[in-house]
Structure 1
């Protein structure tokens, strides 16, 4: 996962992506803002109505406060609006039916380059003992010998039973995906893809094209085709939808996240992959009115999708932090000057800590927890290969990272030279690491289960958690002393038994166990 600062090369952007700016300009020529007491920059807002309150009067409410409606998500009581009025949010909060209103475009979280090598002085552990499962059947595409991650969770063995069903649809909520990539093109569902960056869905795979690279990487892990080109995904016969929530710079704004889950719920998606944090704040503290409004809006959208049978799977994060016992946030707001603040369990990370979401931590090729992976007894449900470029270098995984698809047009711009791979066909790939890479492995396994059983939602979540190989807490956590939490500096500690613990949940996913 490449969603946090420092080890992931994150950078802040103080505005909307290009698609969102176009949408904002179009809106500016539509309904004129009225009643604005002072003019400022065009800003996006979430307006959260009280539970049970109708949003049918939103246009009038928003207009009276000096703004215009971008999208009205009536089923969850959330409205996306824009305004140049500096007191728009305050005026909206005076409406009796409104629970909260908050600006979103001042803040963001960015995906980065898949985890930097780190600056700690720990020496790399190199071993010839790879973590591949005993008797793993290798995959058969030209670059499959580099897919240690797939061997480790016995994907090739599972493919003897199923490669997934075309009737199963995975929604990759990310920076979009390269629908022209030769390892993805056949599996992309145009009618289920959309660009949600502006807060209102623009349908189609062209609109959802990846201009960052991150989304194409996660999509390949899920559903790269078994076609004699490059690599093979966990579920190479399922269909995938690109649901673009992150812009070219890799920022995920709350309006895009809300839009994405509403789209997934309404378009037959079975499983969503979520390799990002959705926040103005890394931790959304529900005792703060602005952060509570964002938490409620995103939580409602996720619950809407879940109620439609969507299984939501999310990366745990790369902060090396215990999400079940948070103590400090030094990251937020990350587009301005971060403010160090003490936090408690009143503060939570979206989407991984939203109820019903399957949280995924990362492992490397020695089946240890990846040095960067966040964790938590209450937040980690399963583990999956995400790579580890420091503690888990092996002969099988010499750079410790996960190989997957990357847009050819972005290869030189957004993939480091040492991580680029081009196969004989000319198809392009990139090595990355992070819980962003772990989550799509778990999603692919869930898609295989759904293909075999037809299970969905919470039943599918339970089946995924059973399709694991338990990993006990390590007796010695000394290697992790070099990698304390990025926020607060707490040392990494593992809690719980082999059946469920804070580092691995119920264990590392096993594709063969899932379908056997």
Structure 2
């Protein structure tokens, strides 16, 4: 998921509008093709153009429609024909066509270290493993829970690698009716065992792990969590999956979404390239549609130690297939989705000393708030290993040194770090705000930035060993009221509910 680790390891609410129109995947493929040769395409229609004739145009070009998102003028199709894109471009109303093959963003593999698990403690607040949740005490979650743990009428959508909804800390708050699997580009039922990666279950636990006497406690343990699988099992977030996920959130009563990934094929999407521009436009339309339907979108900044407001170099894109990345100079004409889409709340990561984590990307125009994401190098302090502990599927891999099992249930938990871990803390605080005040996405975004503890720019010399992709040092811009490292400051759950 373009996630958090160097590389990416980023009241009444509005009612629903038009129903989601989705065409099922055809059981047969175009003549003369095989499933193995099939590629997925995003077909972008001009603003205001109808997609009603898309099925015929796609079929004539030798393809099949996977999904027709008529509300935003985007169609997802599959074809094994080499001339498919050029043919469909000739159809009435079509603005651009782009293959999504090679345009995925993968979660980075966890790096090994020699951290050792501390003895499990019984906390004065929380559940059996809450003594290990330094992140929750840092943002005053225990004090906030003395007032409220959130409302079950608030629905959080976790756009991620999936969700182990059978986990004892997730099951009590799981909303099956608002969960889906978008890994095909069209919504399908979310089945058991869907999170082979573990990342999605980890972020969901930080948001809404139940206060049930065992394991951990999330920032908002009384709200409902919907799993929206937005990647394949290898952790690649392809454009058609991201588009499907935001369209689902827009039409299924989701109030706030967690987005711990980069949604574009490239880390930085440069709009002067036709392939990148088509995918960027489709994803941005889907995000805007969700926002217009009352969805607050919160996203991680990424784990590349890079100033997103002043980018100069991209060295990791595209990241699929593996080994195809290329070094290229970039400018502000290139942007990261979803964090740089207007209205999206961007979150940087902090460690246990309330300093920006060594890996966290940042930017004066992109950083809105900061939240605990962990730091296993500069800010271990009194923590076990500087990382954040959260829920994890039994079958998903987690290094033994980072794995903890609950003594009562045997449920699995894993330590991880990244802006992927920071964003769900901010999402949880936003869910608490929605629970006590309600409001539009814009109002909640503004209140979230007010429910913070301002942090001044630190001595950036400590980040010297962790330069930006370009090799330039990390620098902090702005004052305590708002700066590129922390935005308005580190989120505070108590301030949110007080």
TM over 0.5: same fold? yes
1:71-115 Cα deviation digits (max 9, x unpaired): 000000000000001121122223341111101122211113456
Partners of 2:457 and 2:113 in 1: CA distance: 24
Distance 1:145 1:490, change over 3 A: same
Structure 2: gaps spanning 5 or more residues: 10-22, 116-122
Deviation at 1:66, TM superposition (A): 1.6
Distance 1:495 1:138, change over 3 A: farther
Q: Does 1:223 align with 2:208?
A: yes
1:176-224 Cα deviation digits (max 9, x unpaired): 1101000110100000000000000003x42683121000000000000
Residue 509 (structure 1) aligned to one of 487, 491, 494: 491
Deviation at 1:339, TM superposition (A): 1.8
Does the 8 Å CA contact 2:457/2:477 hold for their aligned counterparts?
yes
Distance 1:243 1:323, change over 3 A: same
Task: Tell me the TM-score normalised to structure 2 length.
Answer: 0.91
Task: Tell me the TM-score normalised to structure 1 length.
Answer: 0.88
Match of 1:401 in 2: 387
1:233-255 Cα deviation digits (max 9, x unpaired): 00000000000011211110000
Does the 8 Å CA contact 2:30/2:79 hold for their aligned counterparts?
no
Partners of 2:7 and 2:308 in 1: CA distance: 18
Does the 8 Å CA contact 2:112/2:399 hold for their aligned counterparts?
no
Match of 2:418 in 1: 434
Does the 8 Å CA contact 2:4/2:260 hold for their aligned counterparts?
no
Q: Does 1:51 align with 2:47?
A: yes
Does the 8 Å CA contact 2:215/2:406 hold for their aligned counterparts?
yes
Deviation at 1:280, TM superposition (A): 1.5
Q: Does 1:238 align with 2:234?
A: no
Partners of 1:107 and 1:28 in 2: CA distance: 23
Q: Does 1:305 align with 2:305?
A: no
Deviation at 1:39, TM superposition (A): 11
Q: After TM superposition, list the pairs within 5 Å mapping 1:220-369 onto structure 2.
A: 220-336=205-321, 337-369=324-356
Q: After TM superposition, list the pairs within 5 Å mapping 1:27-426 onto structure 2.
A: 27=25, 29-30=27-28, 32-33=30-31, 41-113=37-109, 139-203=125-189, 205-206=190-191, 209-336=194-321, 337-395=324-382, 397-410=383-396, 414-425=397-408, 426=410
Partners of 2:327 and 2:193 in 1: CA distance: 36
Distance 1:223 1:39, change over 3 A: closer
| Partner SS state of residue 415, structure 2 | strand
| Partner SS state of residue 464, structure 2 | helix
Does the 8 Å CA contact 2:297/2:343 hold for their aligned counterparts?
yes
Match of 1:17 in 2: none
Distance 1:146 1:39, change over 3 A: closer
Deviation at 1:28, TM superposition (A): 6.2
Partners of 2:344 and 2:328 in 1: CA distance: 26
Partners of 1:227 and 1:49 in 2: CA distance: 49
Partners of 2:281 and 2:111 in 1: CA distance: 30
Distance 1:484 1:198, change over 3 A: same
Does the 8 Å CA contact 2:44/2:75 hold for their aligned counterparts?
yes
Partners of 1:389 and 1:454 in 2: CA distance: 36
Match of 1:129 in 2: none
Distance 1:391 1:194, change over 3 A: same
Deviation at 1:323, TM superposition (A): 0.5
Deviation at 1:4, TM superposition (A): 6.9
Does the 8 Å CA contact 1:4/1:109 hold for their aligned counterparts?
no
Match of 2:457 in 1: 473
Deviation at 1:479, TM superposition (A): 1.1
Distance 1:138 1:94, change over 3 A: farther
Does the 8 Å CA contact 2:103/2:239 hold for their aligned counterparts?
no
Deviation at 1:370, TM superposition (A): 0.1
Does the 8 Å CA contact 1:8/1:114 hold for their aligned counterparts?
no
Residue 462 (structure 1) aligned to one of 427, 446, 450: 446
Partners of 1:117 and 1:408 in 2: CA distance: 21
| Partner SS state of residue 233, structure 1 | coil
Tell me the number of residue pairs that the alignment of Structure 1 and Structure 2 aligns. Answer: 475
Partners of 1:207 and 1:71 in 2: CA distance: 24
Structure 1: gaps spanning 5 or more residues: 10-23, 119-123, 125-136
| Partner SS state of residue 331, structure 1 | strand
